[in-house]
């Protein structure tokens, strides 16, 4: 109602101004005093109308500017979101490239074996990758008992294969046992998985004879006599070797070379232990 009254008042003032303007355009001498009076009266009214008109105009322009600013702000927010996503993708690509370069360097270190890369696509419950799945299977030449590596060392062994996936049991799993040896001396030992112990970043090292030359810091690699692991793959480093109560054997711990908390890509050794053993025997026979 108030708005309608304002519109009516504005209309009356406008009509009045028009009438006064028309009167002031008459040039008869007898109207001169009247024109002067009207002019004096009309000027404040015209100023008021101008102020009202200017206020309305500025209000309309401000609304248009606000609308434009909001549209520009929305466009900028969308662009910022796109740039953030693009930056995140580039960072992930950079990290992935760095990991792939490390895997390539690892494969070059074991040039006697053929390897293929694979991505980790799932893992068992828990914080560690003690059982996990990769995105390659028998369509890619993967077979049960093939060895798996990452982060510079042995990760585990393939236990199940599908057409486009394979399951890997890592060396930190409670049921894992790997026949190892000291790279320096060739003396043998057993590396046993222990998920509880791995919370401290360690595995068990046992079955070391009292005469074996295995000391703290020695590189432990897969043994030549292992039934399922190809020889010479780095497992980790010996730690805290001590004599057992029986005094017939020694034991200690092993620091794994691989990190089982952040596995994303791995290398699968495409040779099986029985195949490499057969090739070695054939070469010796020749």
Tell me the per-residue pLDDT of 55-96, one tens digit each, with 9 for 90 and over: 666 777 777 777 787 777 777 777 766 666 665 555 554 545
Note whether 211 and 259 are within 8 A (CB): no
Residue 268 lies in a domain: yes
Query: Using one digit for the tens of pLDDT, what is the confidence trace for 244-272?
Result: 988 889 999 999 999 998 888 898 999 99
Evaluate if residue 181 carries a pLDDT over 90. yes
What is the span of the domain harbouring residue 55? 1-109
Tokens of 239: 């730690």
119 with 101, same domain? no
280 falls within a domain:
no
Q: Are 59 and 134 in a shared domain? A: no
Q: Point out the domain boundary residue: 109, 134, 164.
A: 109
**Domain identity same for 94 and 169:** no
pLDDT value of residue 79: 72
Q: Which residue has the tokens 């199940």?
A: 160
Average pLDDT over residues 173-194: 95
pLDDT in tens, 92-141: 545 454 555 565 565 666 778 888 889 999 988 878 899 999 999 999 99
Residues 151 and 263 placed together within one structural domain of the fold: yes
Q: What DSSP string runs through the chain?
A: -HHHHHHHHHHHHHHHHHHHHHHHT---GGGHHHHHHHHHHHHHHHHHHHHHHHHHHHHHHHHHHHHHHHHHHHHHHHHHHHHHHHHHHHHHHHHHHHHHHHHHHHHHHTTTS-EEEEEEEEE-SSSS-SEEEES--GGGT--TT-EEEETTEEEEEEEEE-SS-EEEEETTSTT-EEEEEETTT--EEEEE--HHHHTTT-EEEEEEETT----TT-EEEE-TT-SSS-TT-EEEEEEEEEE-TTSSEEEEEEEESS-TTS--EEEEE-S-HHHHHHHHHHHHH-
In-domain check, residue 279: no
Query: According to the model, what pLDDT value does residue 44 have?
Result: 64
Assess whether 167 and 240 both reside in one domain.
Answer: yes
Using pLDDT thresholds of 50, 70 and 90, give the confidence band for residue 237.
Answer: very high
Shared domain check, 25 and 90: yes
Question: Would you give the end-to-end CA distance of the chain in angstroms?
Answer: 111
Task: Say whether both 61 and 149 belong to one domain.
Answer: no
Average pLDDT of the segment spanning 142-163: 94
DSSP per residue, 234-269: EEEEEEEEEE-TTSSEEEEEEEESS-TTS--EEEEE
The count of structural domains within the chain is: 2
Whether residues 150 and 221 share a domain: the answer is: yes
Mean pLDDT value of segment 145-163: 93
| CATH code for the domain of 248 | 2.40.10.340
Give tens-digit pLDDT for 10-67: 677 667 666 666 655 555 555 556 556 555 655 665 565 566 666 666 777 777 777 7
pLDDT in tens, 220-235: 999 999 999 999 999 9
- Please check whether residues 79 and 124 belong to one and the same domain: no
Q: Are residues 140 and 260 in the same domain?
A: yes
**Same domain for 244 and 267?**
yes
In a domain, 278, yes or no: no
Is residue 285 in a domain? no
0.85 exceeded by pTM: no
Instruction: Decide which of 159 and 59 is more confident.
Output: 159
Residue 144 has pLDDT above 70, yes or no: yes
Q: Which is higher by pLDDT, 199 or 19?
A: 199
Q: Are residues 13 and 77 in the same domain?
A: yes
Would you state the pLDDT for residue 230?
94
Contact criterion met (CB below 8 Å) for 155 and 148: yes
pLDDT at 282 over 50: no
């Amino acid at each position: 109602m108030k708005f309608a009254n304002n519109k009516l008042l504005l209309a009356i003032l406008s009509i009045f101004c028009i009438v006064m303007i028309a009167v002031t355009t008459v040039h008869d001498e007898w109207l001169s005093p009247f024109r002067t009076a009207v002019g004096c009266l009309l000027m404040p009214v015209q100023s008021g109308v101008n102020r009202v008109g200017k206020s309305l105009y500025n209000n309309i322009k401000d609304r248009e500017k606000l609308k434009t600013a909001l549209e520009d702000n929305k466009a900028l927010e969308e662009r910022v979101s796109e740039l953030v996503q693009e930056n995140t993708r580039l960072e992930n690509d950079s990290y992935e490239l760095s990991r792939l370069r490390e895997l390539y360097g690892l494969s070059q270190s074991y040039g006697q074996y053929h390897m293929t890369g694979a991505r980790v696509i799932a893992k068992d419950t828990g914080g560690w990758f003690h059982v996990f799945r990769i995105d390659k299977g028998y369509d890619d030449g993967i077979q049960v008992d093939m060895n798996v590596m990452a982060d510079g060392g042995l990760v585990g062994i393939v236990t199940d294969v599908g057409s486009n996936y394979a399951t890997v049991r890592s060396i930190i799993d409670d049921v894992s046992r790997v026949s190892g040896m000291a790279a320096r001396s060739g003396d043998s030992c057993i590396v046993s998985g222990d998920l509880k112990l791995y919370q401290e970043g360690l595995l068990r090292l046992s079955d070391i004879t009292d005469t074996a030359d295995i000391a703290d810091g020695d590189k432990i690699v897969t043994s030549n006599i292992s039934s399922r692991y190809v020889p010479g793959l780095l497992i980790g480093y010996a730690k805290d070797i001590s004599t057992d109560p029986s005094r017939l054997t020694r034991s200690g711990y092993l620091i794994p070379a691989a990190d089982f908390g952040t596995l994303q890509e791995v290398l699968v050794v495409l040779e099986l232990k029985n195949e490499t053993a057969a090739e070695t025997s054939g070469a010796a026979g020749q």
